[in-house]
C-alpha cells in the first residue's frame, strides 16, 4: 500500500495553454529565498522539535553500485530506530505513536525485497528508484516494466525520472503521456516524479515540468536524482512548491514535495522546513506530503539533537550511516 493508503493526486487532463502560461520571475524568486534564509531561526526546544520533524520526513537512501542485502538491512534497522534510545527518552519521544522513524527507505529495484523484509510490520514504506534511474534514457517499455516489477516486489513508492530532453525540446505532450503511463504502471503505489532540475536550464522549465507531471498524476514532485552537478536548491524548491500551491488552488488535488541531493546539514533542513511551512502551510509538514531525499542528513540531525540533550557534540563517525 502507499504511505497513507490514499491516492494524493488523480491528475487532470493535459492543458497545453495552462502549461505555456506559466511564468517565473527569477529576481523575485531570489529575493524571496534570500529573505527566508536570513530571517528564520529557531533555538532550544523549538529547534529540537523541528529537527525531530526533519528525521520523520527523511527518505533514508542508499543508491550505490556496491549495495548489498546486508547494507540495506542495516539501513532499515537505522530507519526503524534513527536515534539512540537515551536521546529518544530525553526528548520525551518514547511514547510517540508508532515510535520515531523515518519517512521511507529508498533503494534500487534489486534491493526492494530485502528492504521490504527488513521493514516488515514497521509501517515504513519502501521506495524504489525506477525508469532507468538516473538518466531515464531506457526504452519506455523497459521503464514501465521496471516499475511493475518493483511494485510486485513490494515497493509502496516509485521514484521515476522524467525524460529531460522532452522539457528542453518543449515537448510537453510527450512528457505528459510518458508520466501518465508510469502513473498507470504504479497501480496502488505512489509516484514521485524526479525532474532533475539541475539539467532543465531555466526556472520556467522547472515550473512547467512540475505542472505537466502533476497533470499526469504524480503524487510527489522531486528535485533531483542526487547524481546531477546541481541538485536541490532553495530557488527551484520555491518554484516547485508554488506550482504545487497553484495546482491545488485550480484543481483541488494535493501533491507532495521532495527536495533531494546535497541536503546534508541540520541547518539546511530547517531552511527547507521553514519554506514549506510558509509557502504551503503546516499540513505539508508531514511525511505523507514532504520528504527529504538524503543519505547523510540524519548524521547531522543526530549530532545536533545530542548537543541539545547533553550540551556536547560527539565525533561525527559515531553517527555514520551503516
Distances (CA, A) of 101 to 77, 125, 226, 277, 316: 10, 11, 23, 21, 21
Residue 43 annotated as catalytic: no
Out of 159, 192, 219, 300, pick the active-site residue.
Answer: 159
Tell me the three cell numbers of residue 142: 523497459
Find cell 541540520 and name the residue: 266
Residue 53 annotated as catalytic: no
Residue 219 annotated as catalytic: no
* Strand-strand pairing, 58-61 and 292-294: parallel
Q: At what angle do helices 234-251 and 26-39 cross, to 10 degrees?
A: 110
Q: Distance (Å, rounded) from C-alpha 260 to C-alpha 269?
A: 11
Cis (ω within 30 of 0) for the bond into 54?
A: no
Q: Are 260 and 231 in contact (CB under 8 A)?
A: yes
Out of 53, 78, 258, 300, pick the active-site residue.
Answer: 258
Active site residues: 159, 222, 258
Amino acid at each position: 500500500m502507499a504511505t497513507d493508503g490514499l491516492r494524493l493526486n488523480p491528475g487532470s487532463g493535459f492543458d497545453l495553454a495552462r502549461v505555456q502560461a506559466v511564468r517565473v520571475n527569477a529576481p523575485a524568486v531570489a529575493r524571496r529565498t534570500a529573505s527566508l534564509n536570513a530571517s528564520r531561526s529557531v533555538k532550544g526546544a523549538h529547534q529540537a522539535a523541528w529537527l525531530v520533524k526533519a528525521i520523520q520526513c527523511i527518505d533514508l537512501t542508499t543508491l550505490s553500485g556496491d549495495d548489498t542485502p546486508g547494507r540495506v538491512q542495516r539501513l532499515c534497522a537505522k530507519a526503524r530506530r534513527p536515534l539512540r534510545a537515551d536521546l529518544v527518552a530525553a526528548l520525551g519521544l518514547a511514547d510517540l505513536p508508532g515510535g520515531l522513524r523515518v519517512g521511507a527507505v529508498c533503494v534500487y529495484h534489486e534491493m526492494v525485497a530485502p528492504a521490504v523484509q527488513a521493514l516488515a510490520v514497521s509501517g515504513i514504506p519502501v521506495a524504489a528508484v525506477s525508469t532507468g534511474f538516473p538518466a531515464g534514457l531506457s526504452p519506455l517499455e523497459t521503464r514501465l516494466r521496471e516499475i511493475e516489477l518493483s511494485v510486485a516486489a513490494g515497493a509502496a513508492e516509485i521514484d521515476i525520472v522524467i525524460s529531460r530532453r522532452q522539457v528542453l525540446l518543449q515537448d510537453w505532450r510527450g512528457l505528459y503521456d510518458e508520466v501518465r503511463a508510469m502513473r498507470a504502471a504504479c497501480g496502488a503505489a505512489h509516484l514521485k516524479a524526479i525532474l532533475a532540475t539541475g539539467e532543465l536550464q531555466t526556472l520556467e522549465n522547472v515550473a512547467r515540468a512540475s505542472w505537466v507531471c502533476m497533470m499526469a498524476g504524480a503524487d510527489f514532485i522531486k528535485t533531483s536524482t542526487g547524481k546531477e552537478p546541481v541538485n536541490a536548491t532553495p530557488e527551484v524548491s520555491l518554484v516547485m512548491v508554488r506550482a504545487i500551491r497553484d495546482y491545488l488552488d485550480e484543481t483541488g488535488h494535493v501533491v507532495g514535495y521532495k527536495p533531494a541531493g546535497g541536503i546534508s546539514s541540520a541547518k539546511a533542513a530547517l531552511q527547507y522546513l521553514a519554506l514549506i511551512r510558509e509557502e504551503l502551510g503546516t499540513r505539508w509538514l508531514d511525511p505523507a506530503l514532504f520528504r527529504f531525499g538524503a543519505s547523510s542528513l540524519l548524521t547531522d540531525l543526530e549530532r545536533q539533537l545530542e548537543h541539545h540533550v547533553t550540551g556536547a557534540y560527539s565525533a561525527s563517525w559515531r553517527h555514520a550511516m551503516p
